[in-house]
A and B are shown apart, each in its own frame.
Chain A
Amino acid sequence: MNPVSRVGRWIGDHLVLAGGLLVLVYLLVPNAIVVLMSFNDNSEARNVYAFQSFTLDNWLNPCKPSGLCSALGTSIQISLLATVVATIIGTMVAFALVRHRFTGRKAANVLIFLPMAAPEIVLGSSLLSLFVAVGLGGRLGFWTIFVAHVMFCLSFVVVTVKARLGGLSENLEQAAMDLYANEAQTFWKITFPLVFPGILGAALLSFSLSFDDFIITNLNAGQTVTFPMFVWGSAQRGVPMQVNVVGTLMFVIALAIVIVGEVQSRRRQNTLA
């Protein structure tokens, strides 16, 4: 091996990995700060966003800042509802797109793609224009947010479920029919269980997208306050540290879901191997 390629190999093996890990650090430092700040006692200096001293107070009284927990409750309600609706109708669309041939299929694919390609500010202002145009300008709130969230979650659900469904051989369904399963049995015994991980993934993605959305929500919320809007509003005056408690909790819960899911799927693959 010539020296150039030996140097190249070394760079490839070590520097690339080290560089990649540094990028990961860049990605993860803010999460660490969120965890740290959840233990921060800033009762002395509310408008300074810096670590003062350690306390468990934020964790013991997460609802202390007025409005935080009601905003959180609103967000959870909207996200759950939007997730359920978007997952159901998005899964139906994915099935239509993968398992049926019809005219306009290509156009339907593009239509699904567009909301993902449009900046949130455009989606949000479009919806606001519509709501104002039909005279709902004064009645923005829970339901207009819900409608908006289903709209932008829908595309992500379709894409996620489509990917899973596309990887599923129609052979399996044919085999089930060959083995005396009628259409409904084939769907519930074979298709659905095999696509389910994709649907679950889509639902989790929807929930986090919906829960986290600010730009679209802010334009269509009226007087309703979601968790991100609470954070935004308090950012002007000084953010209560309890916000970091919520952030940390979300992080831990999501991580737990991912780990449990991963362990489950590994165990499923290795049963009695």
Chain B
Amino acid sequence: MSQAADGSRDLTLTGVTKEYADFTAVKSLDLTVPQGEFFALLGPSGCGKTTTLRMVAGLDTPTTGSITLGDLDITYAKPYQRPVNTVFQNYALFPHLTIFENVAFGLRRKGVKNVAQPVEAMLELVELTSQARKKPTQLSGGQQQRVALARALINQPEVLLLDEPLGALDLKLRRAMQTELKRIQSEVGLTFVHVTHDQEEAMGMADTIAVMNAGVIEQMGSPVELYDNPRTAFVANFLGRSSLMAATVKEVTSEYVKANMHGTVVSIPIERAHVREGSAWVGIRPEKVLIAAAGTPIDAPGNHIEGGIVTDVNYVGVSTEYLVRMPWGQEIGAFAQNTGHQDILPVGSQVDLSWRPEFAFLLDSDEDPNAGKEEQA
């Protein structure tokens, strides 16, 4: 990478593979995390994200490949020899040391003489000043999480690794801690690498997300990019929900790819079409699908499909989630915002569906349309 030459401290993984006796956890991974970014590794359990994190931390070494921080090769450096710190999944706070000593641990190892001042400042940042003399077991889960964060941050690492740091907290606390983490990251400006299986957590916090599955990165990009323009069925299904419908490419223009979907010709913007010929999957997010009783005009120009029958209605307050059986037998999701100008359609209603062409995406027919559905958190 040329950035390394101009002194930047990007974290770069090149061709990293981790093999165990009976399986390969990470397969030839290439990844660059720009300095100062909040980066999320998102994937189901067993996808290799934690192994990747442990290799960056130095707790595991790659079978092949290299890991560099700027121009510093840290592939085989011991954990204590690299400017990387970790917030462990279950925090791994030292039970025999006070909160103060837990936070001071890294500084003391580095031979810092006066630890009191930085430790107190750090405890203030995470709002735990009053707990300094307590032992970890006397703290609540949220407090322990903040101690783990403080203990890592105080060393001013170049990269902070977070291994499912919010997994042990209940939902409400988790959302609060997300905001907190994001605030701290923008305050201290470190590179954060956050491993999680919770897509909302990743989307809410990260600048860039890499979706991992079975040891490889399926797709990497900003949350909006990943959600709107998934390249694989796994990403389409794991990140939010998608309906994938079989189709055949008919025509490719400079702006659109047109495909025949069970007799209806639908258009997909060229930058979202990842196939140019042959059979393919047309993908659409349920909240992008408009639904109306058969024959009622839908006030949006777009791909229009008739002959659906409502098979399930799930009223969730802000919206109503429909499941519609299409003439070719497939069930497609459609979420209608409860804006008040449409009555709820009962099960059995004849309906038409429609969506704007720019919201659809087109995937290779080799993709497994169910990939990522079961793993979804």
Are A177 and B105 in contact, CB atoms less than 8 angstroms apart? no
Q: Interface 1/0s, chain A 181-199, versus B by CB < 8 A? A: 1100100011001100000
The answer to whether residues A177 and B58 also contact, given A169-B92, A171-B92 and a CB cut-off of 8 A, is: yes
Rounded to whole angstroms, the CA-CA distance of A214 and B155 in the bound complex is 57
Q: Interface 1/0s, chain B 79-122, versus A by CB < 8 A? A: 11000111011101111100000000110011000000000000
- Interface residue range, chain A: 20 to 34
Asked whether A133 is an interface residue with its Cβ less than 8 Å from the other chain, the reply is no
Asked whether A268 is an interface residue with its Cβ less than 8 Å from the other chain, the reply is yes
Query: A residues 131-183 with Cβ under 8 Å of B?
Result: 169, 171-172, 174-182
Asked whether A2 is an interface residue with its Cβ less than 8 Å from the other chain, the reply is no
Are A177 and B96 in contact, CB atoms less than 8 angstroms apart? no
Are A269 and B134 in contact, CB atoms less than 8 angstroms apart? no
Asked whether B360 is an interface residue with its Cβ less than 8 Å from the other chain, the reply is no
Q: State the A residues within 8 Å of B (CB).
A: 169, 171-172, 174-182, 185, 189-190, 193-194, 268-269, 271-273
Are A194 and B96 in contact, CB atoms less than 8 angstroms apart? yes
Are B80 and A179 in contact, CB atoms less than 8 angstroms apart? yes
List the A side residues contacting B183 at CB < 8 Å. none
Q: Interface 1/0s, chain B 60-85, versus A by CB < 8 A? A: 00000000000000000011100011
Are A194 and B95 in contact, CB atoms less than 8 angstroms apart? yes
List the B side residues contacting A185 at CB < 8 Å. 109
Rounded to whole angstroms, the CA-CA distance of A190 and B109 in the bound complex is 12
Rounded to whole angstroms, the CA-CA distance of A240 and B96 in the bound complex is 48
Are B109 and A181 in contact, CB atoms less than 8 angstroms apart? yes
The answer to whether residues A179 and B59 also contact, given A171-B92, A271-B133 and a CB cut-off of 8 A, is: no
List the B side residues contacting A179 at CB < 8 Å. 80, 85, 105-106, 109, 151-152, 155
Rounded to whole angstroms, the CA-CA distance of A182 and B58 in the bound complex is 12
Q: Of the candidates A176, A178, A271, A273, which one forms a contact with B94 in the assembled complex, judged by CB atoms under 8 Å apart? A: A176
Which secondary structure characterizes the binding site on chain B?
loop
Top 9 closest pairs, chain A to chain B, by CB: A179-B106, A175-B92, A180-B109, A177-B79, A171-B92, A180-B80, A178-B86, A181-B109, A178-B79
Q: Of the candidates B110, B133, B135, which one forms a contact with A268 in the assembled complex, judged by CB atoms under 8 Å apart? A: B135
Are B88 and A177 in contact, CB atoms less than 8 angstroms apart? no
CB distance from B326 to the nearest CB of A (A): 50
Rounded to whole angstroms, the CA-CA distance of A100 and B221 in the bound complex is 41
Are A175 and B88 in contact, CB atoms less than 8 angstroms apart? yes
Are B137 and A175 in contact, CB atoms less than 8 angstroms apart? no
Are A269 and B94 in contact, CB atoms less than 8 angstroms apart? no
Rounded to whole angstroms, the CA-CA distance of A133 and B95 in the bound complex is 52
The answer to whether residues A171 and B134 also contact, given A176-B105, A180-B155 and a CB cut-off of 8 A, is: no
Rounded to whole angstroms, the CA-CA distance of A25 and B26 in the bound complex is 62
Q: Of the candidates A172, A178, A273, which one forms a contact with B80 in the assembled complex, judged by CB atoms under 8 Å apart? A: A178
Are A272 and B133 in contact, CB atoms less than 8 angstroms apart? yes
- Starting from the known contacts A175-B94, A176-B94, A178-B85, 10 additional A-B residue pairs (CB-CB under 8 Å) come to A174-B57, A174-B92, A175-B92, A177-B78, A177-B79, A178-B58, A178-B152, A179-B85, A181-B109, A194-B96
List the B side residues contacting A180 at CB < 8 Å. 80, 106, 109-110, 155
- Residue of B with least CB distance to A186: B80
CB distance from A102 to the nearest CB of B (A): 15
Rounded to whole angstroms, the CA-CA distance of A171 and B80 in the bound complex is 14
Rounded to whole angstroms, the CA-CA distance of A273 and B96 in the bound complex is 15
Asked whether B342 is an interface residue with its Cβ less than 8 Å from the other chain, the reply is no
Q: Of the candidates B57, B92, B110, B134, which one forms a contact with A271 in the assembled complex, judged by CB atoms under 8 Å apart? A: B134
List the B side residues contacting A193 at CB < 8 Å. 96
Asked whether B370 is an interface residue with its Cβ less than 8 Å from the other chain, the reply is no
